[in-house]
Structure formats: structure tokens, C-alpha cells
Amino acid sequence: MTTFNMKLTSLLAGCLTTGILISGTTVAGSRDSTTGYTSDSRGNIVRSGAGDCVHSGSFSKDNATIVGCDDYQLDTSVTIIKGEGLDAITMISFPQAELFAFDSDKMTDAGKAYIDGYRDELGNDLAQAYSVTVIGYTDSTGDADYNMGLSKRRADAVGEYLSTIGVPADKIRTLGRGENDPIASNDTKESRAQNRRVEAIVVGQPRALDAMIFPSVALFERRSAAVTGQGEKLLRQNMQDAREQLKRAAYIEVVGHTDDVGDDSYNLDLSQQRAEAVGQYLVDAGVDPSKIIMFGAGESSPIASNATDEGRAENRRVEVLVLGRTR
């Protein structure tokens, strides 16, 4: 995946007529003036070590007709999935007084026992969940920045405990919302106690979410995490259409994905960077950053086969999953 490999392949592609050197091996190849690419003896397009389709001497944009080669020709339409309602979502609200001592982010034994009671009731839901998002809240007493930090540390503590009782750690997300989103007035002792809470949102299946799936080619140049001008226009249009869902969201999950071409760690890093780029666009568009979770899944969650150009194109994507409030 290095610049050296890309330059080497480019030079070789201009010189070789019967073979292409890829990562130290020679693959028989022939030039095809109708597609603008080099193909092997079976008619498959030859790819470089970096995963690029190797151009023939007759390559031009007009004859670049192979899906999966040179991103500009891929389908750039955005897939919109409307959630199937909230029946697949369970929300659990834990009063912080049941879990933590005053001003502490260390769970008490009584707090762990309190959560254990829900484990007995929701064991299968928790173990098989698509995701479990733990959100910490405080009342409005004290410094807002301190409250934000405390709420996140408490959410982390609950998330860590859930991982010890059967919830897969990679399914757990944690957020701190501080004194935002009160469920009662902060004018009385009783109402402030209601606002000091930790919520666990258990999503049983992805289709419980509103989702937007952006093909990577629609947003980025190849192997880049910088959103293009065309990509910004596409994001802006779709975010405007989804502004109500975004406004109501309990959290927004932005997930980058790649195909399986190339190095695993490179793909993971690229998917993370692309998720962060889209997440930052949401922040710049006015979405509360404390509601956004961004991560890269690399090549680990394909939605199509990686054995074909078309399938790999589908797998290169960024998903924006929007979970609306259940109340």
C-alpha cells in the first residue's frame, strides 16, 4: 500500500506487454483497447499491489467501462434506510444514586447488583444486541465541563461492567452528555435526582435505525480521507433531508468500511479516517459532537462478496446510523 509500490506498478504498466509485476510475482497480461485496462489470460482485469486496475496504453475516461476500476465510474447513489420503528430498541435508565457514590465514577457493589437484575431480564437481548450505547447524564449543578467529564466516566464504568457480564465489548459505545437533555426540571432536589442517570440503549438489529450509506467513491478520492467538493455537496443534501432525525438522535454512529484489497491495518486506518471526516462534517453542520460516535471497521463487515469488482465497490462505504429517541 506504499507510494513506492504504486509508482513501480505505474512504470511497469507502461513497459510490459505480456506480463505485469505485482508484489514480486509475474502475471500474464494482455492489453485491451476496448476497456483501457490490462487483463490476464482469463479476461480478468490485472490489479497492482495497491489494488488499482492497471491501465493499458489506450486508456481514457471514455473507454474506462469496468465497474470497480477508477472510482469515478462507480455508482454514487446514497442508500437511505428508514428504521422499522422502535420495537427492536430497549432503553434502560439507571438512577446514578443506585450505581455510584456522590461525585464518584467507581461503581458500587450495590450498583453492580442493580444492573445484574436487568441482566437476568434482558440477558439474550444484551448478548445478541447489534449495539449497546451507554450514555451518562448529570444535573445542572456545578461546572458544565466537569459534569461532562463525570458523565462520560460514569458511562465508561457502566459499559466496562456490562462487558464483564456477557455483552461483547466491541458492541458497547459510551457517551457523556453532562447536563444536556434533562428529563425533569433542575429546580428541585427531586428533579435533579431524575436528571442524574445513566441510560443504556440496546439496539437489537440495525434496521431499527435510520441509516444513510454513502459509497466511498461518492465522498473521497481513491485512498484519501479528504471529502471532495462533490462529496460535501452530497453530504449537505442528505443531511438537510435528515435534519429532523439528526436533531432527535440519541446518538449518531458513523462507521467507515473498506473492501479486502490491501493491508488489513491500512484499511482499518483509512476507514477510521473516513468515518472521522464524515463525523466532522456533521459537527460543522451543527450536530452536537457529544452525540457522535466514529469508528472504522476496515474490511470486517462486508455487505457483498469481495470476489467481484461490484461487490468490493459496495463494501467501500461510510454508514451514518441515526438512533432516534425512544421517548
Domain-ending residue, one of 184, 204, 224: 204
- Alpha-carbon distance 320 to 253, whole Å? 6
Q: Is 198 in the same domain as 110?
A: yes
Return the DSSP state at 225.
Answer: -
Q: How far is CA 90 from CA 56, 83, 93, 129, 134, in A?
A: 55, 14, 10, 10, 12
pLDDT given at position 161: 93
Domain-located, residue 89: no
CA 291 to chain centre: 14
Q: Among candidates 189, 188, 105, 99, which has minimal Cα distance to 151?
A: 105
Q: Is 176 in the same domain as 131?
A: yes
Q: Is 261 in the same domain as 235?
A: yes
Q: Is 187 in the same domain as 244?
A: no
Q: Is 116 in the same domain as 257?
A: no
**C-alpha cell belonging to residue 302:** 462486508
Domain-located, residue 165: yes
Residue 127's domain comprises 96-204
Q: pTM of the full predicted structure?
A: 0.58
pLDDT given at position 326: 44
Residue 224's contacts (CB-CB under 8 Å, 6 or more residues apart) are none
Q: Is 213 in the same domain as 320?
A: yes
Domain-located, residue 88: no
Give me the phi and psi of 27, to 5 degrees please.
Answer: -120, 125
**C-alpha cell belonging to residue 253:** 454512529
Q: Is 302 in the same domain as 319?
A: yes
Per the CB < 8 A criterion, the answer to whether 111 and 163 are in contact is no
Q: How many CA atoms lie within 13 A of 195 on its CB side?
A: 21
Domain-located, residue 318: yes
Q: Is 213 in the same domain as 316?
A: yes
Q: Is 319 in the same domain as 245?
A: yes
Q: Is 189 in the same domain as 232?
A: no
Domain-located, residue 49: yes
pLDDT given at position 72: 42
The total domain count for the chain is 3
Q: Is 152 in the same domain as 165?
A: yes
**C-alpha cell belonging to residue 65:** 467501462
**C-alpha cell belonging to residue 26:** 509475474
The tens place of each residue's pLDDT in the chain, 327 residues long, gives 323 232 222 222 333 222 222 222 333 334 444 457 787 776 677 888 877 888 887 777 666 656 566 654 445 566 555 555 544 567 788 888 889 988 899 999 999 988 888 777 776 677 777 788 888 999 999 998 899 899 999 999 999 999 988 888 888 888 888 888 888 888 998 888 888 999 888 877 655 467 888 899 889 988 899 999 888 988 888 887 777 777 777 778 898 999 998 888 899 899 999 999 999 999 988 888 888 888 888 888 888 999 888 888 889 999 998 876 544
Q: Among candidates 201, 138, 150, 196, which has minimal Cα distance to 172?
A: 201
Return the DSSP state at 161.
Answer: H
pLDDT given at position 207: 53
Domain-located, residue 140: yes
Return the DSSP state at 108.
Answer: P
Q: Is 183 in the same domain as 223?
A: no
The CATH number of residue 287's host domain is: 3.30.1330.60
- Alpha-carbon distance 260 to 322, whole Å? 26
In the three-class reduction of DSSP (H, G, I as helix; E, B as strand; rest coil), residue 213 is classed as strand
CA 10 to chain centre: 32
Domain-located, residue 42: yes
Domain-located, residue 90: no
